[in-house]
Amino acid sequence: MFLTEDTGLKGCIRIIPKIFRDNRGISVKTFHADTFRDLCIPAEFAEDLIVTSGKNVLRGLHFQNPPYGQSKLVYCIRGRILDVVADIRKGSPTYGEYKLFELSDSNNWMLFIPEGFAHGYLTLEDQSIVMYKMSSAYNPACEDGIRWDSMGIPWGIDKPIVSERDRNFLPFDKFESRFEYVF
């Protein structure tokens, strides 16, 4: 039902679902609790979020601090995005490293992003729609981020559309993580 690939960031997993195609279209199962548990992917989610964005919108790098940290299951249900995951767990052998993934309605890939990672994405097509499943509910007091242009991420664009809030996050070199590496 699902294939998984290691991303090189401990705990962050790319998930490749089986796609069912016939003359009517396609069907993609994006979540199955028992299968996720068998794959050692936590299968408890508290809320879903759907975000629609125009082309060249950059969202991130976001996370929620403890005690309301969030694991996320992210996929692009329409369009195409450049998805970025950065390890912000103190003591992690990959602390400060990031990985880029293209998620789209063509490849139907998903990412499982555990707590302790900052997450963001750039929309590569107009009206791209991104779906999140999150392990804990949104808590505005714990919301945080790292400035999108402070980690050397090759976004491939000079002037993305970025919210005022995202422009004002601390740069990575001034950031002090509240996450600990626990493996």
| Catalytic residue list | 62, 132
3 state DSSP class of 105 = coil
Query: In sequence order, what are the residues at sequence separation of 6 or more whose Cβ sits closer than 8 angstroms to the Cβ of residue 50?
Result: 77, 129, 130, 131, 132
Helix H segments across the chain? 33-38, 164-167
Taking a C-beta distance cutoff of 8 angstroms, is the pair 144, 114 a contact? Answer: no
| Helix, strand, coil abundance in the chain, percent, nearest 5 | 10, 45, 45
Cα diameter, the chain = 54
